[in-house]
Amino acid sequence: MKGFTIVAILLGFLILSGHSPAKAAEPAQATRHGHKANSDKGVTVTIMILSYDRRDKSNYPDSLYLPKLIKPALSHLKDKGAKKIKFNIEKSQLYIWLEGKRVATFKDIQAAFPGLRLKVVAEAIF
């Protein structure tokens, strides 16, 4: 069921951005084989879903702690193509929307959120 939810979220992003799911699957499949997505047709979009776990032991609630991390992380990742960052506190997930040829890596994202332990749940390139 968890995998179905992730696929539904990624397809929702595709439909809202005007991409066809059939065409979007081609670049995503190509990256599994070590090839980069074909960006000749326009801007390459990368969507990353990461699970997070806080490193601090404070009782400060996530709903107050995590939103303060977004603005510094966006400024840190701005030159790496970060456009949107959102936390899903109920599922303990972080959603990152990256655009352009120069895209942030997992290490870049991890450096932008030093107070969190991150793990990649899903990644798609369109």
Domain boundary assignment for the chain: 2-125
8 Å CB contact between 27 and 67: no
Q: Which CATH class is domain 2-125?
A: alpha beta
Rounded Cα distance, 70 and 94, in Å = 10
Task: Assign 51 a pLDDT band (cuts: 50, 70, 90).
Answer: very high
Rounded Cα distance, 122 and 15, in Å = 18
pTM of this structure:
0.67
- The pair phi, psi for residue 99, each rounded to 5°, is -130, 150
pLDDT tens, position by position, 72-119? 999 999 999 999 999 999 999 999 999 988 789 999 999 999 999 999
What does pLDDT average to over the chain?
79
- Quick check: helix, strand or coil at residue 13? helix
Closest CA to 121 of 47, 42, 63, 34: 47
Residue 37 has pLDDT above 60, yes or no: no
